[in-house]
Amino acid sequence: MLPLLPAVVAILVTVALALAATLARALTPAAGIVAAVFGAVIVVAAGYAFLALLILFVVASVLATRYRFSEKKARQVQEGKSGERGVSNVIAHILIPTGLALAVVHNPPLVPVPAIAVLYASALAFGAADTFGSEFGVLAGKARSILTLRPVTPGTNGGVSATGQLWAAIGAGTTGIVGWALFLLFATPAPPGAILVGVVGVSGFLGCQVDSILGETLENRHYLTKGSTNFLGMLSSVGIAAVLLVALGWVR
């Protein structure tokens, strides 16, 4: 946990960034408040590396969402009215990272801090994979059901494309690389780079596939909302990362 003065500075920075995102219409006002509160908890509990990775994820998501936005709007596959994300979207993507950040301050630790760093990055890797795969994949013009491979309209829940899958892999892999660099920069305990990047990249990408399957089988039948589908997809990514860490001997 951060000492008092660094914690105050970190909270002020978090609030300022959430306000900037709201003014830029990347978040609704209510979503901005939620992001500020949860972001403050994350940085105070787990430190600057965790917050920095979250911020970079948000920035990358906004850029992906705004990419060729007018074309997405014309096809009616855009996020929100002008690319903004609401409370349900923010909560779905920040509850699990916040819980993992709070696990850092638990005494005694339930899970070693290096493992928590990987699980946290894996949660955000899912978010990046899901956002990149959706925002770039929807522009591919073609999509197929992840289960039956039948052609579906781009933007359909459970619809995937080669372009979308490539960008999902890029989003997950990049999160692993950036996470490793940030943990190194801020001296945050973490596994060796190859293990961290590999586990984060694989779990983030596979979690994205789980999200697509849930979207086709349950969300399309109205058993799940978009937010709950995203939450479960992120949870699956963390679960996959945990299994890989156990297999590699980093969690016993």
- Helices 113-137 and 193-214 cross at an angle (nearest 10°) of 50
Give 110's DSSP letter: S
Q: Is residue 211 assigned to a domain?
A: yes
Q: Is residue 252 assigned to a domain?
A: no
Q: Is residue 198 assigned to a domain?
A: yes
SS3 146: coil
CA R_g for the chain: 18
Decide if 83 contacts 75 (C-beta within 8 A).
no
CA distance 201 to 129: 9
Residue whose structure tokens are 């005494």: 107
Cα dist from 45 to 97, 99, 113, whole Å = 11, 10, 12
C-alpha angle with apex 33: 30 to 37, nearest 5 degrees? 145
Summarize pLDDT for 101-138 with one digit per residue, the tens. Answer: 999 887 777 788 999 999 999 999 999 999 999 999 98
Q: Is residue 241 assigned to a domain?
A: yes
Query: Do the bridges between strand 143-145 and strand 159-160 make them parallel or antiparallel, or are there none, so unpaired?
Result: antiparallel
Enter the tokens of residue 2: 């951060």
pLDDT for the residue numbered 80: 64
What pTM, to 2 d.p., does this model score? Answer: 0.94
pLDDT for the residue numbered 251: 72
Count of CB atoms within 10 A of residue 52's CB?
Answer: 18
Summarize pLDDT for 190-227 with one digit per residue, the tens. Answer: 999 999 999 999 999 999 999 999 999 999 999 999 99
Indicate whether 186 pLDDT > 70: yes
Q: Is residue 219 assigned to a domain?
A: yes
CA distance 137 to 208: 13
In order, the DSSP letters of 45-99 are: HH-HHHHHHHHHHHHHHHHHHHTTHHHHHHTT--STTTS-B-HHHHHHHHHHHHH
Count of CB atoms within 10 A of residue 108's CB?
Answer: 4
pLDDT for the residue numbered 155: 83
Q: Is residue 11 assigned to a domain?
A: yes
Structural domain of 180? 4-247
What average pLDDT score do residues 55-63 get?
Answer: 91
Enter the tokens of residue 204: 């983030």
Decide if 157 contacts 220 (C-beta within 8 A).
yes
Summarize pLDDT for 138-151 with one digit per residue, the tens. Answer: 888 789 999 999 99
Closest by CA to 200, choosing from 214, 219, 218, 183, is: 183
Q: Is residue 236 assigned to a domain?
A: yes
Residue ranges with strand state E in 98-241:
143-145, 151-152, 159-160
Closest by CA to 201, choosing from 92, 128, 93, is: 128
CA distance 64 to 134: 9
Q: Is residue 171 assigned to a domain?
A: yes
* Number of domains the chain is built from: 1
pLDDT for the residue numbered 252: 65
